[in-house]
Amino acid sequence: MSGTGTTPTPDGTPDRAPIPARPVIVVGSGPTGLLLAGDLAAANVPVTVVERRPHGISNLSRAFGVHARTLEQLDARGLAEPLLATGSTITELRLFRRLSLDLGTLPSRFPYLLITPQYEVERLLEERARELGVEFLFQHEVVGLRQDSEGVDLDVRVPDGTVVTRRAAYVVGTDGHRSAVRRAVGLPFPGVSVIKSLFLADVRLAERPPGVLTVNGAGDSFAMIASFGDGWYRVMGWNRRHEVPDDAPLELDEVKEVARRALGTDYGMHDARWLSRFHSDERQAPEYRVGRVFLAGDAAHVHSPAGGQGMNTGLQDAANLGWKLAAAVQGRAPEGLLDTYQTERHPVGKAVLRSSGGLVRLARATNPALRAVRALVTVVLNAVRPAGAKALARISGIGYAYPAPRGAHRLTGTRVPDVALRSGRLYEALRGGRFVLITPEPYDVEGARKGWLTAERWASESRRTAMLVRPDGYVAWAAESAGPAEIESALAAHSG
């Protein structure tokens, strides 16, 4: 094992002898950590994932919806097609009884929501990470850390119960909502509990529901049934008259009763393979970075399951951070690049918290004022096209843009769709994990730039914009009719 730490002292505390640093250690092998570790390895950055679970013991499959922007990110890693093969897609998103959003209108290669269990996303991401050489340490639990100006010492409890220190230049905490990394750097996780008592069940059904996703609320009950496409269905719901702690026993009969009240039928639920209670918090760390330590995914933000945003937002965090960390490790990050992780991703986390929390409050509305707001939201989103399109763009993740420097081209910071190139399409060109420069005329990439830059040309002769696309598919720089000198200076500004 490279970078293995020191032997513990007899009292169990690690000694502090110098040890070789691993460039990056990722703590937690949920979807966020797996995507991040794979991206770092793809950029030739040696990376270790430390995970407290034993290998093969699944992270409980919580998420089941994969949105358009996440599918685009997976496409940029060659994983969208295999993931699509594991589930079913839906083009209509029903939020309240009368509110329906048409995902088919999304300006994306993936104009739908993919319903597939979270473990399928994790399986593909782990396979990719392993193929790229990521080192995995299962049954290793992070219990503390210290950092100095050159690195981070991570205290890790290994399978025999002793604690060893592993050193890394950077550490990323993707260790979920109870993040030990977040606690170790002293960050609070302020917020509130938004739904006190929900249940989850994975069941088989005697009778098929009308669609891939069936949702309704009636009185105090709410239920949602999603088809995984393989004969198993995920049921999620609540009964506001029966709010109990997460560890209270749950029987299938309770799930069936709530479904009957909310949906009019329980579709003959049987053979539950998983029954679980949980509650839903709305929390966000004020900082996503403390020195050499970063937070991503649920470690940085948690929100209500409404809109299916948690895993999707975590994967976008990882896609944003991976190439920046790789550039820092390889000494080609421009000044301030690592700070843009906070300035770009924290506002998105905040917006997701606000929108998913708003949806849940409206869905659970009992007082007349909130019910009136819900009716108004329903009318506006159904009837006013731009409002509906904006809501869809946010939910699907394609509507977010990052802040651009003053005076920058209007496209700077925006998401680039899957545009046609002479050699193919953009999200195929992004599979190298490099920046993509798209120009009207040929541009030769020379020397060290080959390591981080691919040059492409627009398929359309009429496009005169020169555009530098970041590895995560956002515009780093753009200019109209730029000459070679202007392009050169943009490339220099983005390579440190």
Q: For residue 4, what are the contacts with CB-CB under 8 A and spacing of at least 6?
A: 19, 164, 166
**163 or 404, CB closer to ligand FAD?**
163
Q: How far is the CB of 224 from ligand FAD (least distance, A)?
A: 10
Q: How far is the CB of 39 from ligand FAD (least distance, A)?
A: 14
DSSP 3-state of 195: strand
Please tell me whether residue 175 binds ligand FAD under the rule CB under 6 A.
yes
Interacting residue with ligand FAD among 5, 26, 41, 51 (CB under 6 A): 51
Please tell me whether residue 266 binds ligand FAD under the rule CB under 6 A.
no
Beta carbons of 298 and 177 less than 8 angstroms apart: yes
Q: How far is the CB of 216 from ligand FAD (least distance, A)?
A: 17
Beta carbons of 182 and 299 less than 8 angstroms apart: yes
Q: How far is the CB of 197 from ligand FAD (least distance, A)?
A: 12
For 250-267, b/e burial (b = at least 16 CB within 10 A) is bebebbbbbbbbbbeebb
> DSSP state, 30?
S
Please tell me whether residue 342 binds ligand FAD under the rule CB under 6 A.
no
**125 or 404, CB closer to ligand FAD?**
125
Interacting residue with ligand FAD among 237, 310, 397, 433 (CB under 6 A): 310
Per-residue binding letters, 132-151, with ligand FAD (x by CB under 6 A): ---------xx---------
**50 or 203, CB closer to ligand FAD?**
50
Q: For residue 80, what are the contacts with CB-CB under 8 A and spacing of at least 6?
A: 71, 72, 74, 110
Strands of the sheet containing 113-115, edge to edge, are 65-66, 113-115, 88-90
Q: Which amino acid is at 48?
A: T
DSSP string, 222-283: EEEEEE-SSS-EEEEEEETT----TTS---HHHHHHHHHHHHS--TTEEEEEEEEEEEEEEE
Beta carbons of 375 and 87 less than 8 angstroms apart: no
Q: For residue 234, what are the contacts with CB-CB under 8 A and spacing of at least 6?
A: 64, 117, 200, 201, 202, 225, 226, 228
Q: Compute the chain's Rg from CA coordinates.
A: 23
Interacting residue with ligand FAD among 118, 147, 165, 227 (CB under 6 A): 118
Per-residue binding letters, 181-220, with ligand FAD (x by CB under 6 A): -------------------x--------------------
Q: How far is the CB of 52 from ligand FAD (least distance, A)?
A: 4
- As given in the structure block, the two tokens for residue 6 are 């020191």
Please tell me whether residue 397 binds ligand FAD under the rule CB under 6 A.
no
Stretch that binds ligand FAD, among 95-103, 175-183, 263-271, 342-350 (CB under 6 A): 175-183
**236 or 469, CB closer to ligand FAD?**
236
- As given in the structure block, the two tokens for residue 381 are 């989103």
**Selection from 104, 302, 107, 106 nearest residue 195 by Cα:** 302
Q: How far is the CB of 110 from ligand FAD (least distance, A)?
A: 15
Please tell me whether residue 355 binds ligand FAD under the rule CB under 6 A.
no
DSSP 3-state of 423: coil
> DSSP state, 437?
E
- As given in the structure block, the two tokens for residue 485 are 């000198």
- As given in the structure block, the two tokens for residue 302 are 């948690």
Interacting residue with ligand FAD among 43, 50, 121, 152 (CB under 6 A): 50
Q: For residue 357, what are the contacts with CB-CB under 8 A and spacing of at least 6?
A: 194, 282, 303, 304, 306
**62 or 128, CB closer to ligand FAD?**
62
Q: Which amino acid is at 274?
A: W
Interacting residue with ligand FAD among 25, 27, 327, 398 (CB under 6 A): 27
Please tell me whether residue 59 binds ligand FAD under the rule CB under 6 A.
yes
Q: Which amino acid is at 436?
A: V
Interacting residue with ligand FAD among 24, 43, 45, 63 (CB under 6 A): 63
Interacting residue with ligand FAD among 8, 217, 314, 413 (CB under 6 A): 314
Q: Which amino acid is at 115?
A: I
Q: How far is the CB of 388 from ligand FAD (least distance, A)?
A: 21
Interacting residue with ligand FAD among 8, 38, 87, 308 (CB under 6 A): 308
Q: How far is the CB of 60 from ligand FAD (least distance, A)?
A: 8
DSSP 3-state of 439: strand
Please tell me whether residue 328 binds ligand FAD under the rule CB under 6 A.
no
Please tell me whether residue 349 binds ligand FAD under the rule CB under 6 A.
no
Interacting residue with ligand FAD among 33, 151, 237, 433 (CB under 6 A): 33
DSSP string, 39-57: HHHHTT--EEEE-SSPTTS
Please tell me whether residue 87 binds ligand FAD under the rule CB under 6 A.
no
Interacting residue with ligand FAD among 46, 53, 275, 431 (CB under 6 A): 53
Which helix (H) or strand (E) covers residue 318, if one does? helix 310-329
Q: How far is the CB of 220 from ligand FAD (least distance, A)?
A: 19
Interacting residue with ligand FAD among 124, 164, 213, 236 (CB under 6 A): 236
Please tell me whether residue 32 binds ligand FAD under the rule CB under 6 A.
yes
Q: How far is the CB of 278 from ligand FAD (least distance, A)?
A: 5
Please tell me whether residue 176 binds ligand FAD under the rule CB under 6 A.
yes
Q: Which residues bind ligand FAD (CB under 6 A)?
A: 27-33, 50-53, 59, 62-65, 118, 141-142, 174-176, 180, 200, 236, 278, 297-298, 305, 308-312, 314
